[in-house]
Amino acid sequence: MEPRPAAPRPRLCDSLGADQTPSASTLNAARAEARPAGRRAPAVAAVLPAGGSGERMGVPTPKQFCPVLERPLISYTLQALERVCWIKDIVVAVTGENMEAMKGIIQKYQHQRISLVEAGVTRHRSIFNGLKALAGDQPDSKLSKPEVVIIHDAVRPFVEEDVLLKVVTAAKEYGCSDYDLEFGTECLQLALKYGHIKAKLVEGSPDLWKVTYKRDLYAAESIIKERISQHICLVMDTKDENHVGHRLEEVLKDELNHVKVTSRLPCHTGRDLDQIMSEQCYSYVCVNVMTSDFEEIRKLVDMLEESNLSILYPVVVISVYFLDYKSVPFDQKMENLMQIREYAKEVKKRNILLCGLLIYYPQDEHKLQESLRQGATIIATLIKERNSGLVGQLLVA
Amino acid sequence: MEPRPAAPRPRLCDSLGADQTPSASTLNAARAEARPAGRRAPAVAAVLPAGGSGERMGVPTPKQFCPVLERPLISYTLQALERVCWIKDIVVAVTGENMEAMKGIIQKYQHQRISLVEAGVTRHRSIFNGLKALAGDQPDSKLSKPEVVIIHDAVRPFVEEDVLLKVVTAAKEYGCSDYDLEFGTECLQLALKYGHIKAKLVEGSPDLWKVTYKRDLYAAESIIKERISQHICLVMDTKDENHVGHRLEEVLKDELNHVKVTSRLPCHTGRDLDQIMSEQCYSYVCVNVMTSDFEEIRKLVDMLEESNLSILYPVVVISVYFLDYKSVPFDQKMENLMQIREYAKEVKKRNILLCGLLIYYPQDEHKLQESLRQGATIIATLIKERNSGLVGQLLVA
């Protein structure tokens, strides 16, 4: 789409008249409790100005393209908007030189409902170009004309549905002509003070901040790592509740009391694990009780690959073996190490981070407890850090 | 010291008369290039209000006491001020319930020039109590009356000397009666607009931000980790430049091109390593060529302990062994593993994080290069993450 900066500015809320009384709460089909009957949801689209150069960041890459867990920041923002089913179209304005890179991002991370337009020389020009694409008067446009357009910064990745809903509600109620998620910035203050227009400050969450400096990228990465590490699934091939594998589960629950720890039978039972994956669990601990080969791990990795989970986030898989140090020859375990290294290298290409963990299994009850605790610490570290540099390692507790 | 909130407010800059013409640039003895001759430096003190409860953080611990790399945030701020030799006294205002904890922090991290006063019910009351302690009219006070007092938030750990210098210069020039490092906040705006007093906005650095939310703690931790990982010292017991240890050095320099990598002979030569430690290098890679025991590592750890380096930051030590997999029996290496685990547990108490790294040494040139690169990746990961959960592990490249 060719931008025409000289064209007249479209009004964003021009079809939000009082007679139509769209209710923002009807927008959210998933939240039945807040849905009044018989109201029509307005068509909503989003425009993301993403033409910035990011000079404050101190790095050559514009901040919206900076990697966070090896994925560009803008992809997280797109993901946050995509998740909201009532946003019908998302228009991203990028500079000509970043157009191909942006297309690559959309393809690689399988983003949906995205259209690209060329950014203007200023943020406002970029927004204007995005709005023009949505105006419905372009002969080649496949986009439908929305009633409300949300303008959202490409560098605010943590926007939640309820905040977007509040904005759309406010757009309806206050009829603002240029609504923006930059809460509390001088723009809104000026509008309120001098513009004689109706405007409203919508309460956001502290997570809705703008990634501006390098430290914000660090913070974003830590927040994302924390979010995807809130659920650990133990895959265990025994129902024997006295087995040491179940004791590891208890210790994990004890040490990681802010994390949900669930256990499931192995992959051949199928359904259970499918469900865990659909709940977006990104951390798996495969406790090998009956076998010491890689069959279970291979099945789990295949299922993960089928689930597409690792397209957006690195998935951690830890293969745990209990080792009776005195009775098992170490060379044999070493064979395993070499196997896991090669295999881990292979699955890393699919964004799955595989490590091994040997838990030393002494007869002494006190020492066993210590081994289990150290095992839990190592598992917690690998899941929290999610660092690809340690892939294929065999750690010992 | 007992706070008396009803006492009259001391004037901060009352001894900064024009006749005394103190030059802030003379404050900084270390920066000879900016020192005009024949001027006297004013006595400078700092007051840190640290009585806040940190409710925005969403955690029960007040933010100034939240751990960053296992050390309370306020200790980093104290460290930043202590480093500035021309700040003679640092007065911290803490609530009664945190007084003992604060004393513990000062003792554990060996902070100097610190006095404690009780915080007031508001930030301004806390500042007032700090100023009173500096006013020189307290019979039991050992503090000398300063000419300039810098008020600095306990939760801004990254303040640099040059910014503090600008503030002191501005205090002299503009004679502000209540100078604050909260640049650009509504306080200064109000002062400029309504106060009819002289005030100046001093340019800070982006790093001078205030730790407010949990994400700021994440950012602070990442910034600190990055700062202390900028220098890696390789300790190598061979001068043979064709040795594979030197090839590891080359690969490290190549892969970590933003990090300074230096190599030194082992500890028995002494002086060289002393110097590296005094330059505050927090990452050591000990390449064991001639020996396969822990002697070198023990010597290095002893030197580190003597240097007190690990009081403030965790020091990473990686013990590297080159392994000809075909010729060395693995059990023997395993003995090493068990040794390193026990020893690592012991030195962890001294905040030294020790890991082992076996680099597989194949005859094949291409594979060797790959092993070295993987070794460098593992080294980089361990140094960057500085995570105590992996202490004592023997990693394989």
Closest CA to A297 of A261, A330, A325, A273: A273
| Yes or no, beta carbons of B378 and A389 under 8 Å apart | yes
Min Cα distance A125 → chain B (Å) is 28
Least reliable range by pLDDT among A164-168, A359-363, A379-383, B340-344: A359-363
- Nearest CB among A215, A331, A394 relative to B219 is that of A215
Q: Please report which helix (H) or strand (E) contains residue A316, including its range.
A: strand A315-323
Contacts of B218 in chain A (CB under 8 A): 218-219, 222-223
Q: Which residues make beta-bridge pairs with A286? A: A235, A319
At residue A159, does pLDDT exceed 80?
yes
**What pLDDT, on the 0 to 100 scale, is given for residue B331?**
62
The DSSP result for A214-260, as a single string, is HHHHHHHHHHHHHHTTSEEEEEES---TTSHHHHHHHHHHHH-TTSE
The label of the residue with tokens 């549905």 reads A161
Strands A114-118 and A87-94: parallel
pLDDT tens digits for range A203-224: 777 778 889 899 999 999 999 9
Per-residue pLDDT, averaged over A384-392, amounts to 94
Name the strands in the sheet holding B114-118, side by side, starting at the edge strand that comes first in the sequence.
B114-118, B87-94, B44-49, B148-151
**What pLDDT, on the 0 to 100 scale, is given for residue B32?**
36
**What pLDDT, on the 0 to 100 scale, is given for residue B172?**
75
pLDDT tens digits for range A108-135: 999 999 999 999 998 888 988 998 899 8
Choose, out of A213, A215, A316, A355, the residue to mutate when testing the contact with B (most B CBs < 10 Å): A215
Residue A264 class from Cβ within 10 Å (0-12 exposed, 13-18 middle, 19+ buried)? Answer: middle
Highest mean pLDDT of the ranges A25-29, A52-56, A84-88 = A84-88
**What pLDDT, on the 0 to 100 scale, is given for residue A207?**
77
| Yes or no, beta carbons of A334 and B330 under 8 Å apart | yes
Q: Is residue B386 a contact partner of residue B350, using CB atoms and an 8 Å limit?
A: no
**What pLDDT, on the 0 to 100 scale, is given for residue B37?**
36
| Yes or no, beta carbons of A331 and B334 under 8 Å apart | no
Q: How many whole angstroms separate alpha carbon A244 and alpha carbon A179?
A: 58
Q: How many CB pairs under 8 A join A and B?
A: 74
| Yes or no, beta carbons of A396 and B216 under 8 Å apart | no
The DSSP result for B63-96, as a single string, is GGGSEETTEEHHHHHHHHHHT-TTEEEEEEEE-G
The label of the residue with tokens 């009819």 reads B196
ipTM of the complex in this document: 0.82
Min Cα distance A75 → chain B (Å) is 20
Q: How many whole angstroms separate alpha carbon B361 and alpha carbon B369?
A: 9
Residues 6+ apart with CB under 8 A from A338: none
pLDDT tens digits for range A275-285: 899 999 999 99
At residue A268, does pLDDT exceed 70?
no
pLDDT band, very low/low/confident/very high, at A193 (cuts 50, 70, 90):
low
Residue B5: how many other CB atoms lie within 10 Å: 12
Q: How many whole angstroms separate alpha carbon B313 and alpha carbon B64?
A: 17
Choose, out of A255, A340, A390, the residue to mutate when testing the contact with B (most B CBs < 10 Å): A390
Q: How many whole angstroms separate alpha carbon B100 and alpha carbon B161?
A: 29
**What pLDDT, on the 0 to 100 scale, is given for residue A28?**
34
Q: Is residue A47 a contact partner of residue A152, using CB atoms and an 8 Å limit?
A: yes
Min Cα distance B222 → chain A (Å) is 6
Q: How many whole angstroms separate alpha carbon B233 and alpha carbon B263?
A: 6
Q: How many whole angstroms separate alpha carbon A134 and alpha carbon A142?
A: 9
Residues 6+ apart with CB under 8 A from A170: A176, A179, A200, A202
Residue in B closest to A57 by C-alpha:
B206
Residue B124: how many other CB atoms lie within 10 Å: 14
Residues 6+ apart with CB under 8 A from A32: none
At residue A140, does pLDDT exceed 50?
yes
Distance of CA A281 to the CA centre of its chain: 12
Residue in B closest to A333 by C-alpha:
B330
Min Cα distance B381 → chain A (Å) is 6
The beta-carbon contacts of B106-113 under 8 Å, at least 24 apart in sequence, are B106/B78, B108/B311, B109/B71, B109/B75, B109/B78, B109/B79, B109/B311, B109/B312, B110/B308, B110/B311, B111/B75, B111/B78, B111/B79, B111/B82, B112/B82, B113/B82, B113/B87, B113/B88, B113/B89
Closest CA to B119 of B43, B62, B185, B44: B62
Q: Averaged in consecutive runs of 10 residues, what is the pLDDT profile of chain B (397 residues)? A: 36 29 32 41 89 70 94 97 95 96 97 96 89 80 84 92 88 63 45 54 76 93 96 88 89 92 77 88 89 81 94 96 69 69 94 93 87 96 95 90
**What pLDDT, on the 0 to 100 scale, is given for residue B389?**
94
Chain A contact for B389, CB < 8 A?
Answer: yes
SS3 (DSSP) at A198: coil
Q: What is the mean pLDDT of chain A?
A: 80
**What pLDDT, on the 0 to 100 scale, is given for residue A205?**
76
Select the more confidently predicted residue: B258 or A352. Answer: A352
Contacts of B337 in chain A (CB under 8 A): 396
Q: Is residue A125 a contact partner of residue A5, using CB atoms and an 8 Å limit?
A: yes
Q: Is residue A91 a contact partner of residue A47, using CB atoms and an 8 Å limit?
A: yes
**What pLDDT, on the 0 to 100 scale, is given for residue A11?**
31
Residue B230: how many other CB atoms lie within 10 Å: 15
Residues 6+ apart with CB under 8 A from A56: A212, A213, B206
pLDDT tens digits for range B219-275: 999 999 999 999 999 998 888 888 888 999 999 999 998 899 998 887 666 678 888
Contacts of A330 in chain B (CB under 8 A): 330-331, 334
Torsion angle of C-alpha atoms A335, A338, A339, A342, degrees rounded to 10: -170
Q: How many whole angstroms separate alpha carbon A21 and alpha carbon A17?
A: 7
Strands B87-94 and B352-360: unpaired
**Within 13 Å and on the Cβ side, how many CA atoms surround B212?**
8
Q: Is residue A81 a contact partner of residue A45, using CB atoms and an 8 Å limit?
A: no
Strands B67-68 and B71-72: antiparallel
**What pLDDT, on the 0 to 100 scale, is given for residue A101?**
96
Chain B contact for A339, CB < 8 A?
Answer: no
The DSSP result for A91-141, as a single string, is EEEE-GGGHHHHHHHHHHTT--SEEEEE--SSHHHHHHHHHHHHSS--TT-
User: Which domains are assigned to chain B?
Assistant: 24-224 (3.90.550.10), 228-396 (3.40.50.720)
Min Cα distance A148 → chain B (Å) is 32
